[in-house]
Amino acid sequence: MERDQRRLIINYAGPEGVYRRISLGSVLEGAVLPDAVRHKIVVVGVTAQGAGDRLFTPLSSGIGMSGIEIHANVARTLLDRAFLIPMGLPAEMAGCVLIAAACVLGIAGLRGVRLLLLLAVVGAAVPAASALALSGGRIWPMGSFLAVFLVAGGVAGMGEYAAVTIALRQSERKRRDYAFRVQAIAHEIKTPLTAIQGSSELISDGTVSDGERAAVAGLIYKESKRLTGILHAFLDVERMASGSLAIEKKPVSLHAVCDEVLERARLYSARKRIRIEAEVDDTSVPADAELLSFAVYNLLTNAVKYSPKDTVIRLGMSEDARSVSVWVADHGYGIAPSEQERIFDRFYRMRRDDKGDEEGSGVGLALVREIVTQHGGRILVDSQPGAGSRFTIVLPKV
């Protein structure tokens, strides 16, 4: 041990009663038998508190130690070879890393009370372990360990704060999203509901003639169907987003799907005298026919809604070894690059169209993207403001 050339650290923490005190008076009175001191080292000196021969040791804690006790400690440490041995730099580093790792793992894996509990345990273990080590003659660097613990604990606190803040923001965003949805549903439902109310009032107060009654009833029927459609669309978005709408993929004839959709879309586009040109090969693709036709119909009706009158829309397809693509191209108002990602968000409408004549809820494209994603495919948009847009659905062949 001496070869280490390290400092000699005296252990002043001798347990109580290590040094037996025998007063000079009792020796002079002959009350001490020779056996009491035989084979023992006797240190003679003054131990009285006010004697002035007192010094502080690292463990004195405010009460000085008498000079002879200090000498006794020095002698005992040397003779027993009970020097205090410092932990050493490598072990100190390892200890710091261990404490930091415990805190980091705690931050990563635990939250709230559990994290606090872990930090409390580590915080209490550092001084406890140091005290235990000291009683075994080892000096542990409690200062370094506590510093590492405090830094790691601080980081843990900040991490916890950040996690709570993020969770709070997320829940706030969800709440706003929900409120927005409720508003959007209310807004969407309001129009057909007003039409139904107005028309039924006309019938009930006898304002309409017998001849007109059938037409008004037809309007009520149409609007109530629209209402159902809106509700279905909303429910489908929710169910699809939560993953509870199962997709049934079967080989579907793309030609047949597009034919059926075109028929409906042409009725819709007639009001703006928009022509839809289509060229679709008879390719089969594994898909849910109903959802696929919903997606293509949505792209076509959007193209109609966001194009000026008397323009042309084209519906086409292409395929390669692994995928089939269906695209809808229009010569409409187009979409600015900054908006091209956002139009797929639920309830997102471009400001231009929110104020325009075309009714909408901002749900359609979110639904289309959800459908395409559930099929393992993707949707692309290529658009230039003022020049038109092209939406492409890419579906895998298997």
Q: Which is nearer to ligand ADP, 68 or 343 (by Cβ)?
A: 343
Residues that bind ligand ADP (CB under 6 A): 302-303, 305-306, 330, 332-335, 343, 348-350, 353, 360-366, 389
Q: Which is nearer to ligand ADP, 164 or 387 (by Cβ)?
A: 387
Please report the DSSP string for 263-310 in residue order: HHHHHHHGGGT-EEEEE----EEEE-HHHHHHHHHHHHHHHHHTS-TT
Task: Tell me how far apart the alpha carbons of residues 327 and 368 are, in angstroms, rounded to a whole number.
Answer: 13
Ranges of beta strands (E only) in 118-221 are 138-139
- Closest among 314, 252, 325, 317 to 280, alpha carbons compared: 317
Q: Which is nearer to ligand ADP, 153 or 332 (by Cβ)?
A: 332
| Closest approach of ligand ADP to the CB of residue 376, in Å | 21
- Closest among 193, 186, 8 to 86, alpha carbons compared: 8
Q: Which is nearer to ligand ADP, 191 or 253 (by Cβ)?
A: 191
| Closest approach of ligand ADP to the CB of residue 350, in Å | 3
Helices (H) and strands (E) in the chain, counts: 10, 11
| Closest approach of ligand ADP to the CB of residue 183, in Å | 14
| Closest approach of ligand ADP to the CB of residue 311, in Å | 11
Task: Tell me how far apart the alpha carbons of residues 263 and 297 are, in angstroms, rounded to a whole number.
Answer: 10
Tokens of 193: 């509901």
Could you give the count of Cα atoms lying within 13 Å of 52 in the half-sphere of its Cβ? 0
| Closest approach of ligand ADP to the CB of residue 182, in Å | 17
Task: Tell me how far apart the alpha carbons of residues 118 and 54 are, in angstroms, rounded to a whole number.
Answer: 43
Task: Tell me how far apart the alpha carbons of residues 375 and 29 are, in angstroms, rounded to a whole number.
Answer: 106
Phi-psi region of 17 (alpha: psi -120 to 50; beta: other; left: phi over 0): left
Task: Measure Cα distances from 67 to 13, 145, 218 in Å.
Answer: 15, 33, 112
| Closest approach of ligand ADP to the CB of residue 315, in Å | 12
Q: Which is nearer to ligand ADP, 12 or 333 (by Cβ)?
A: 333
Q: Which is nearer to ligand ADP, 109 or 308 (by Cβ)?
A: 308
Q: Which is nearer to ligand ADP, 220 or 363 (by Cβ)?
A: 363
| Closest approach of ligand ADP to the CB of residue 192, in Å | 15
Q: Which is nearer to ligand ADP, 258 or 329 (by Cβ)?
A: 329
Task: Tell me how far apart the alpha carbons of residues 295 and 364 are, in angstroms, rounded to a whole number.
Answer: 8
Task: Tell me how far apart the alpha carbons of residues 39 and 33 are, in angstroms, rounded to a whole number.
Answer: 13
| Closest approach of ligand ADP to the CB of residue 151, in Å | 49
